[in-house]
Amino acid sequence: TKKMILDLDTGVDDALALALAVEDPRIDLIGIVSSYGNTLVETAGQNSLNLLHLLGADDVPVYLGESHSSTTTHFDVMPISMAIHGDNGVGNIELPQAPRKIESISGVQFLIDAAHQYGDDLIYLPTGPLTNLAAAIKQDPEVAQLIGQTTLMGGALTVPGNVTPFTEANIHQDPEAADFVFTHQKNLTMVGLDVTLRTLLTKNHTQAWRALDTLAGRTYADVMDYYINAYDTLDIDHRGAALHDPLAVAVAIDPDYVTTINLNTRVTYDKQSGDYGRTIGDSARLLDATTTKIAVNVDTERFVRDFQEFM
Q: Which residues of the shown chain bind Ca ion in the complex (CB under 5 A)?
A: 9, 11, 14, 127-128, 245
Q: Which of 4, 5, 11, 49 binds ligand BDR (CB under 6 A)?
A: 11
Residue 154 sits at φ, ψ, to 5 deg, of 165, 165
Q: Which of 7, 24, 168, 194 binds ligand BDR (CB under 6 A)?
A: 168
Q: Order of strands across the sheet with 188-191?
A: 62-64, 27-34, 2-8, 122-126, 149-153, 188-191, 292-298, 258-262
The sign one gets for the Cα dihedral 24, 47, 139, 187 is positive
**What is the SS3 assignment for 216?**
helix
In the bound complex, which residue of the shown chain has the CB atom lying closest to ligand BDR?
Answer: 169
Q: How far is the CB of 59 from ligand BDR (least distance, A)?
A: 25
Which range of residues in 54-62, 166-174, 232-240, 276-284 is near ligand BDR by CB under 6 A?
166-174
**What is the SS3 assignment for 143?**
helix
Q: Is 131 in the site for ligand BDR (CB under 6 A)?
A: no
* Residue 162, contacted partner among Ca ion, ligand BDR, none, CB below 5-8 A by kind: ligand BDR
Residue-wise burial string across 215-234, b where 16 or more C-beta atoms lie within 10 A, e elsewhere: ebbbbbbbbbbbbbebbeee
Q: Is 244 in the site for ligand BDR (CB under 6 A)?
A: yes
Q: Is 14 in the site for ligand BDR (CB under 6 A)?
A: yes
Q: Which spans of this chain sit near ligand BDR (rule: CB under 6 A)?
A: 11, 13-14, 38, 81, 127, 153, 162, 168-170, 244-245
